[in-house]
Structure formats: C-alpha cells, structure tokens
Amino acid sequence: MTWFLLGASVLAILIPTIIYIQILRWLDYCDRAPQSLALLAFVWGAVPAIVLALIFSPLVEYPIRSLLNAPYDHAIGATIIAPIVEESAKGLIVFWIFAMTDRAQDDPMLGLIYGALAGYGFELTEDVMYFLSAWAGGGWNAWTGSVVVRALMFGTTHAFFTGMTGLGAGLARASASGFARGAFPLMGLGAAMTFHSLHNIAAVASRDNPATIIFAAVGDWGGLWVMGILVVVARVYEKQWMLQELNEEVDAGLLDRADVQLAASMRARVRTRVIGMLTLDRRAVRRVTWLAPRVMELAHLKHQTRRGRADYRSEIHAVRQEIVAIYNALSNPSF
C-alpha cells in the first residue's frame, strides 16, 4: 500500500505538471532556453528549494514572531513566513542562471520560463507531501479531495508566483538602465511574495468559510491570464523588431521571406508541424524544428548587438553558416 500510495501521489501531480510544462515550453518558440538549464530550474525547485525552505522557515519565523509580538500561529507561518522563504528559495535559481549565462539570454520570457519551471518542481514535491498527509489524516476520500484542489485547481500557483520573480529578473537583464536592473528583480520577487501571501490568506480563511477558496482560485488563474496577456503584448512588439532584423537577411539573399514569416509566427509553426506530421512531410517538419529556431536566434543576436548589449558578430556569422547548411540539406532531393 505504501508504494502504491506514493506512486499514485506522484502521478497525480506529475501528469498535469507535464501538460503545464509543455504549454510553457511552447512560449519559448525559438527554443532559447537550453534543456540543461530548464531541467536545472525544475530540479532546483523540486529538491534544493524545498530543503532550503524547510531549513530557513524556523530561522525566519522567530524574528518575525518577535517583531509582531505574537505566539506561534499557523496563519502567520502560511501568510508571511512561507511566501518570504519559499519565493526566495525558488528565485535563487533564476538569479543564478542569469548571472552565469551570457547576454544572449537577455529576454524577459526566459526569466518567466525558468521561474515557472522552478515553481512546477516545487509544486510537485510539495503536493506529494500534502497528498500523503491527506491520506494519513482521512484516507482515500481526503487524498482525492487534496488532489482535485492542489493538482487541478492550484496546479500552477507556484509557477505563477516564481514566474513573476523570473519576469522581473529577465526585465532587469534586458534593460539598459542601472536603476531598472536593480529595481526589476526586487519588484518581481516582491510580486511573487505578495501573490503567494494573498493565496495563502484565502486558503487559511477557507477553513472557516470554504467559499473563500474560490477567491484564491480566481486570483491565481486571473494572474496567469494577466501574465498571458503580457506575453502576447511582448511577443507582438518582439515580432516587429525581429522582422526588421530578418528583412535585412532576406534582402541579402540568406533567407526566404516565407521562412521568416514561418519562424515569426507561432500559429504558422504549429500548423506547419501538424500538417507535416500528418502528411509525412519531413521537410516541412524539419523546417520548423531545424530552420525556424536558428532564424529566430539570428534575429535575437543581431538585436542584442545593435542595441550595444554585447558584440555577437562571430556568433551571428556561425548561425548564418548553420542556416546555409540547413538550406543545403533541405534542398537535397534524397533528404
């Protein structure tokens, strides 16, 4: 029973988490987040961030309770201490990744992705512990209720919270202003802690009034919709300057205009990939999976260089050579 319970608990949160992560990865349309860093962010959230939260929660709790002159109270731990400690622990990996990677990673969307992945990792481990605790306290009925609430209703909460931290870090890296570079990470982390606290306030209140859990759900999913709208707006703006950078390559004869339009449109890429897979058109699929990411990478490198953020002329030359090689492969009749 013990192994069955553990396996069921892991699967109950792992399956929706895989779906959520796949949706998140679609946002990284030119595959700029390396698989190794994406995995690192997820694993960090699942293990080290949990350990750090368990270690530092008691250390943070004492001075806060002393400041508030309050005895131990679960509500204080949930609404003040947990948001501070957990968001700090999860956010560390985002700041580390940006500190260790080069300027080609200057993209707010990458920060959001890394932060959300750390949040999904944290959610997975935390929810498994909650599922096991629910079963110990009330059997399978309690376990099922916990799965419905935590995996389905609130399966994206930690991703939303830490995504705010990542968005702030990404905005800082993409900004030329020294003040913005200092302010955006603090604003992102502060927003993560604030939304986390509001969520937990509603969750604590639901013990006396179950209806308040609806406010937590509305706030969390509403926040995700707001972030989604911001992503769409950012992508529209980004597409404009990407087309400007890539039009130069079309005029120079490196790229076909149709391939630029394909690379710049998520809808076109998804449609081309699906139709290519259904019709067994390998060239169409490889145009999406091979050519499009390199085309968008070229646009990003040129944009960073043009803005004076870094000198990527050698990297630009290398990507152009890759694109030429891909075109040669796609034009081969036996390919």
Of residues 107 and 58, more confidence is placed in: 58
Last residue of a domain, one of 182, 205, 228: 205
Q: Is 335 domain-assigned?
A: no
293 with 197, same domain: the answer is: no
pLDDT at 187: 94
Top pLDDT among 293 and 83 is at 83
251 and 192 inside one domain: no
For the cut 60, the answer to whether the pLDDT of residue 314 exceeds it is yes
- Of 227 and 44, the structure prediction assigns the larger pLDDT to 44
Query: Do 162 and 18 belong together in one domain?
Result: yes
Is residue 296 one of the residues assigned to a domain?
yes
For residues 232 and 267, the answer to whether their CB atoms sit within 8 Å is no
Same domain? For 274 and 175 the reply is no
Look at 42 and 62; give whichever has higher pLDDT: 42
Domain assignment of residue 171, given as a range = 2-205
Mean pLDDT of the residues in the chain: 84
Same domain, 200 and 246: no
Residue 39: pLDDT over 60: yes
253/168 same-domain check = no
Specify whether 35 is located in the same domain as 99: yes
**pLDDT tens per residue, range 116-135:** 999 999 999 999 999 999 88
CB atoms within 10 A of CB 238: 20
Highest mean pLDDT among 82-91, 92-101, 326-335: 82-91
The string of pLDDT tens digits covering residues 145-187 is: 889 888 888 888 999 999 999 999 988 877 666 777 789 999 9
Domain end among 189, 205, 221: 205
- Domains contained in the chain, number: 2
What would the mean pLDDT of 283-298 be, rounded to a whole number? 87
Is 136 in the same domain as 282?
no
Same structural domain, 183 and 268: no
Read off the pLDDT of residues 299-308 as tens digits, 9 standing for 90 and up: 888 887 887 7
Is 219 within the bounds of a domain?
no
Residue 196 sits in the same domain as residue 244:
no
